[in-house]
Amino acid sequence: MTLAKYNPKKLVIYSRDEMKQWEMAKKFGDDERVRFFIGDVRDRERLYRALDGVDYVVHAAATKIVPTAEYNPFECVKTNVMGAMNLIDACIDKGIKRCVALSTDKASSPVNLYGATKLCSDKLFIAGNSYAGGKNTRFAIVRYGNVMGSRGSVIPFFIDQAKTGKLTITDDRMTRFMITLEQGVELVWHAFNDMEGGEIYVKKIPSMKLVDIARAVSETAKQEIMGIRPGEKLHEQMIGAEDALYTYEYKEHFKILPQIHEWNKDLRRIKDGKAVSEVFSYSSDNNTEWMSIDELKKWIEINGDKVGRT
C-alpha cells in the first residue's frame, strides 16, 4: 500500500512497537501527513489523544502468537479484549466515522485462547454499533489468516529453516489459506465503503497444503514431521457451519451479518448477496481454489526482499 494510492489528509500510526515505527519513519518521515504515536490499546487516555481529528480507524493490535497467549493469558485478554473495549469507547466518544477491526481464522470455532479472545473482540465490535446509540460511529470486521510473507506467517520461517537443509512440518495433512498484503488492504477498504455496521467480511482466497508451501520454498530441504502443537488446527476455518444462516456470498468475498436486532435480515446489509447453504462452511481444506507450488515460487521470487518485514 502507498500513501499516494489512498491519499489521506492525515495518517496516524499508533502502536507500542517503536522499532517498527522507526523503520516506517525512515520511509515516510518526510511526508507531513504521517504522524507516529507510541501507545497501547490498553491505555484509554493515550487512545483518545491519538484519535483526535481522525475519521477512519483500522484496528490491528493483538497478542496473536498462539503459544504466547496460552502461557500469558491475562496479558492476551488485556490487549485483545480490554483493548478492544477501550478502542470502541474512544471511537464513539471521539466521533470516528468508521472503524474496521482485523480478525483471524482462529476466531471461527476457536480452540485456543488467542482465537477465543478474538471471537470475543469480534462480538464487541459488532455490539459496538448498538452501543454507539444515536452516534454515527460504525464498526465492521475483516477476517483472514496470516498474510503471506508477514512476520507471523510460515513462509519466512521456512526460508530461514531451509538454510539448515531441514524444514519442520507439524502435520502433512495440514492446509492453510493464502492471502497477500494487497488483498488484505483491499478488503479493509471495501469494508469501509460497504459497511452498515456489524458485518464480518471474509475474502475468497486460495488454499495450499503446508507440505507444498515447504516445497515452494525449497525442493531439496528434508521435511520432518513434528506433530501438531497445542492449540493448533489441521485446517484454517474462516466461516463455521453455525454462521451459515447469516452468511451471504458475493463475487470476491463472503459476508457474515450480525444476529443482533435482526440485522441479518436488513436489505441494506445484504445488498446483492446470495444466501449460502445452511450447511456451508469455509475452511482451507474444503476450498474450491488452490495455489500451486509454481505460483507460490513466483510470488517468493517477486516479493523475497519484503518477506518477514510486515
What residues are labeled active site? Answer: 106
Residues linked to residue 203 through DSSP beta bridges, in sequence order: 253
Residues 180, 197: Cα–Cα separation, whole Å: 25
User: Which three three-digit cell numbers place residue 49?
Assistant: 489523544
Residues 211, 217: Cα–Cα separation, whole Å: 10
Residues 117, 70: Cα–Cα separation, whole Å: 11
Strands 166-169 and 222-225: parallel
DSSP symbol at 264: G
Residues 289, 284: Cα–Cα separation, whole Å: 9
**Contact indicator for 236, 178 with CB cutoff of 8 Å:** no
**Contact indicator for 283, 238 with CB cutoff of 8 Å:** yes
In the block, which residue shows the cell 469507547?
A: 89
In the block, which residue shows the cell 488483498?
A: 183
Residues 224, 59: Cα–Cα separation, whole Å: 37
Q: CA 257, 263, 265, 271 torsion: positive or negative? A: negative
Nearest to 61 by CA among 89, 74, 42, 34: 42
Question: 205 in helix, strand or coil?
Answer: coil
Q: What are the CA-CA distances from residue 81 to residues 88, 113, 117, 124 (Å)? A: 11, 11, 6, 8
